[in-house]
Structure 1
Amino acid sequence: MNVKKVSIIGVPMDLGQNRRGVDMGPSAIRYAGVVEKLESIDLEVEDMGDIQIDMPERVHSSSLHNLRNLKAIEQANTRLAQLVDQVVQEGHFPLVLGGDHSIAIGTLAGVSRHYEDLGVIWFDAHGDLNTADTSPSGNIHGMPLASSMGVGHPALTGLGGYGPKVKPENLVIIGARALDQGEKELIRQKGLRVYTMHEIDRMGMAAVMREAIDYLKERTDGVHLSLDLDGVDPTDAPGVGTPVMGGVSYRESHLAMEMLAESGIVVSAEFVEINPILDEKNRTAKVAVALMGSLLGDQLK
């Protein structure tokens, strides 16, 4: 896809997890210069502002089927899906700024209705493949990928009036290193393609990305990138709610984005889970902006 126009959508939501601060992620990314970065590589940028997030009294997980803040998350994702749908219809590239990773439910609901076989690259330390039955916490930010595959609560799997949003065979997870037992079982059951840090260490990021791109090119008509900043090692991206040591390096992350840019297969993206309260001088938001630049065509030469 030859990207010329980018529409930025902020989703200042932290309801999918229980560490406050990730709702300030979109502001931190803007403060780190995302618009200026993208304009510097000759992209036309429209910042659509932030969608409204209802702030309910936080509901104890046991009262709603082990799903914290289900109704408010459903409402926010419905608004996001409608906006993303509009952006795609206009022929722009939707760039969604999180917020916690539960917002991927809405992004995928908006994007996937425009593709017969949407592919997804899930760049994350976690699988986000839990359901209410398998989640240790009831936090919905650990469920968006399962929900988008049609596994989970109907309010999430049927968001936007249809589902599933992505077929298991059109999905690639990159950078995983913290998977719950229920997630491992779902990976085996669905035959998901997962490149853990073990594969990245053994094969190298270039080989992993070549395989992933070739695999998705064969079977999809567009690819959505969902990038959780905790996929990057916390030495490079400390400002995340659930850091896991031993992650993808800063340079490996750039290489992955550059290879995706060269492939031309990415049609939409979101960058999530930046928590400025836990950050050091906005370092993590700056990393996110640099990676967005590489994804959208910024080159070293």
Structure 2
Amino acid sequence: MRNFMIIEAPSNLGLKEPRPGVEPGVRFLPEALRRNGFSREAGITQVINVPAPPYTMDIDPDSQIRNADAICAYSQLLAERVCEAVQKDIIPIVIGGDCSILIGTALGLKSTGGSYGLFSMDGHHDYMLPFHSGTAGAAGMGLAIVSGNGHPKLCDIHSLRPYIMEQHIYAYGNRELDEEYVQIIRDSQVHYYDLPSIRARGIQAITTEFLTMMGHSGLDGFWIHLDVDVLDNDVMPCVDSPEEGGLSYLELEETLIPLVNSGYFKGMHITILDPTLDPDNRYTRTFSERLAHLLRPVVEGLTVS
């Protein structure tokens, strides 16, 4: 039986305001999942909270990234909790928050002294530098930052750049298929599978390839980044940058099951679900129920198929 814990990371620092004077509502996701009984249904009893700094729209003049200093400070706090858990062989399920929490979780893994892979499930590839971004938001730069690309304020905290090597990252699910946008990540060493290539290659083939890479690379484990906008907009519209199409829940589960059952699985985080965009709780409740149902057998030490 493997030990799990929930780390609540309600940071919205990596996003711009959806409307003037309105904070991004992703910071309410931990609270929303508590109301829906996620930890109870998943069978996870240990829950801690890492409070986030106040939100601002400030753009750091050195890095040209919004809230860079606050994200740096918060990433170190989150990294301490992730590092402590992984070193104790506890699997953290980190509830965000926006995608900038990837910086803290990846920093936490690197701080253990080990080498890790990343399976990044996202409706965007998030491999951008500030001059590519129209928002200056770190949420859209996560893969670039954790692989050591960009200003050292975020990508070289404690001189640990890169937190995860590009060749150990799988970017899975992008469906923003503008040629210029896609070329940025194609020019990297990241293993890139957009939605059309997932459908063409097959989910099982890709997850098997990733787990095989883990073994061949001699890594200590891997982390899952789950941005809920990887899901089809019809079943998960409560996100900041919706795109048509996406994975079904069955495809999400087909992807996650072999990963979370792997002995290499060290943790995951969940981002971008904005409960303020779901006033009747319909989409949040379904997501909470389905993810808890998927995780519970793993928490209890059973094999899911």
Matched residue SS, 1:152: coil
CA contact (8 A) 1:115 1:221 kept: no
Q: How far, CA to CA, are the matches of 1:180 and 1:289 in structure 2?
A: 34
Superimposed CA distance per residue, residues 172-221 of structure 1 (whole angstroms, 9 cap, x where no aligned partner): 11111126766534423323211111112213322332223223332232
Q: What residue identity is the alignment partner of 1:159?
A: I
- 196, 199, 207: which one pairs with 1:198? 196
CA contact (8 A) 1:129 1:186 kept: yes
| TM-score, with length taken from structure 1 | 0.89
- 21, 27, 35: which one pairs with 2:25? 21
Alpha-carbon spacing, 1:32–1:289, altered in 2? closer, same or farther (3 Å) = same
| TM-score, with length taken from structure 2 | 0.88
CA contact (8 A) 1:21 1:277 kept: yes
Alpha-carbon spacing, 1:293–1:113, altered in 2? closer, same or farther (3 Å) = farther
Match in the other structure for 1:252 = 251
Matched residue SS, 2:212: helix
Superimposed CA distance per residue, residues 249-280 of structure 1 (whole angstroms, 9 cap, x where no aligned partner): 11100111112133332111101111001125
* 1:42-191 equivalence runs, <5 A: 45-48=45-48, 50-59=49-58, 61=59, 63=61, 65-114=63-112, 116-178=114-176, 184-191=182-189
- Farther off after superposition, 277-286 or 290-299: 290-299
Q: How far, CA to CA, are the matches of 1:115 and 1:288 in structure 2?
A: 33
Residue 13 of structure 1 deviates from its aligned partner by 1.3
Residue 293 of structure 1 deviates from its aligned partner by 4.1
Residue 63 of structure 1 deviates from its aligned partner by 4.4
Q: How far, CA to CA, are the matches of 2:291 and 2:111 in structure 1?
A: 26
Structure 2: state its 5+ residue gaps.
Answer: 19-23
Q: How far, CA to CA, are the matches of 1:192 and 1:256 in structure 2?
A: 18
- Farther off after superposition, 287-296 or 67-76: 287-296
Q: What residue identity is the alignment partner of 1:281?
A: N
Residue 222 of structure 1 deviates from its aligned partner by 0.4
CA contact (8 A) 1:127 1:179 kept: no
Match in the other structure for 1:218 = 216
Q: What residue identity is the alignment partner of 1:156?
A: L
CA contact (8 A) 1:9 1:95 kept: yes
Matched residue SS, 1:172: strand
The number of residue pairs the alignment matches comes to: 293
Superimposed CA distance per residue, residues 89-139 of structure 1 (whole angstroms, 9 cap, x where no aligned partner): 222111110000001100110122335330100000111111112212101
Alpha-carbon spacing, 1:253–1:33, altered in 2? closer, same or farther (3 Å) = same
Alpha-carbon spacing, 1:107–1:183, altered in 2? closer, same or farther (3 Å) = farther
Match in the other structure for 2:21 = none
Match in the other structure for 1:273 = 272
Cα RMSD for the two superposed structures? 2.3
Residue 9 of structure 1 deviates from its aligned partner by 0.9
Residue 291 of structure 1 deviates from its aligned partner by 2.5
- 30, 34, 43: which one pairs with 1:30? 34
Match in the other structure for 1:10 = 8
Q: How far, CA to CA, are the matches of 1:257 and 1:217 in structure 2?
A: 18
Match in the other structure for 1:283 = 283
Q: How far, CA to CA, are the matches of 2:120 and 2:140 in structure 1?
A: 13
Matched residue SS, 1:271: strand
Alpha-carbon spacing, 1:287–1:58, altered in 2? closer, same or farther (3 Å) = same
Matched residue SS, 1:71: helix
CA contact (8 A) 2:42 2:295 kept: no
Superimposed CA distance per residue, residues 48-70 of structure 1 (whole angstroms, 9 cap, x where no aligned partner): 1x2122215421x3745431111
Matched residue SS, 2:132: coil
CA contact (8 A) 2:60 2:68 kept: no
